[in-house]
Amino acid sequence: MVDSRATVDLTASAWPVFDIAVSAINYPFLYIDSDWTDLGALAVQQYEDIDFRLATWARAFVAGTPTDTLSVLKDISLGITSSISYQSREQEGTQAPLITLDRGWGSCRNFAVLFVEAVRSLGFGARIVSGYLFNPDSSLTGSTDRGSTHAWAEVFVPGAGWITFDPTNRSMGGANLIPVAVTRDIARAVPVLGSFMGAADAFLSMDVTVEVKAVNPP
């Protein structure tokens, strides 16, 4: 049995104000050389987009040249939940972004991957975040039961740093989000990885229970 307990101090504002650098207030902008070095593969699309279908879809959210950077990112996040239905998905693996667009449905991790790949196609550095959703009144989408995780995204914008976007809940900022893993590729966010050697019928059962609750301050 694995029993893990942690106390997390959630201090992120529900209505954040980001101090974006003057050079990045409007899109398109260029990252400075040191930012490009740090971002590396985080600015490179991970899924094939041979016909530029995803890039074309993302480009439709760019109102003009130049246009407000934060508005572009928010519009893409909102555009995902406006055109794609949320559906809890317990199967192993993650849908490719174009499959999510074609099917018109996906889980939180599918939304996060689609968002990250879309903004990367526009030249942004972005990463996947896996963790938990603090949802005491069950008003948010993405945690269907006590054992489920949640996935969202972060985009690097000069001055502001990493800005959190949760397309599943149409939110911006880290309020109600408890990050556990940050990664370039969602496949690398697997919490436990290993193998078993023994009789095929030796497996009995596995149950996962995750409880996220508020703790009264001392």
Q: pLDDT tens digits for 78-132?
A: 999 999 998 876 666 688 999 999 999 998 999 999 999 999 999 999 999 998 8
Please answer whether residues 173 and 14 qualify as being in contact, where contact means their C-beta atoms are separated by less than 8 angstroms. Answer: yes
C-alpha distances out from residue 213 to 9, 12, 133, 166, 208, Å = 12, 17, 10, 20, 16
Please tell me the distance from the alpha carbon of residue 29 to that of residue 31, in angstroms, as a whole number.
7
Please answer whether residues 20 and 158 qualify as being in contact, where contact means their C-beta atoms are separated by less than 8 angstroms. Answer: yes
- What does residue 55 show for φ and ψ, rounded to 5 degrees? -60, -40
Q: What is the 3-state secondary structure (H, E, C) of 107-156?
A: CHHHHHHHHHHHHHHCCCEEEEEEEEECCCCCCCCCCCCCCCCEEEEEEE
Summarize the confidence of residues 29-56 as an average pLDDT.
96
Q: Lowest-confidence range among 73-82, 174-183, 207-216?
A: 207-216
pLDDT at 69: 98
pLDDT at 8: 80
Please tell me the distance from the alpha carbon of residue 12 to that of residue 2, in angstroms, as a whole number.
29
Tell which residue, 173, 120, 122, 177, has the closest CA to residue 150.
177
Please tell me the distance from the alpha carbon of residue 142 to that of residue 88, in angstroms, as a whole number.
8
CATH number for the segment(s) 22-185:
3.10.620.30
Tell which residue, 177, 151, 172, has the closest CA to residue 160.
172
Q: pLDDT tens digits for 142-201?
A: 665 555 688 999 999 999 999 999 999 999 998 889 898 999 998 887 666 666 677 877
Rounded to two decimals, the pTM is: 0.86
Q: Domain segments of the chain: what residues?
A: 22-185
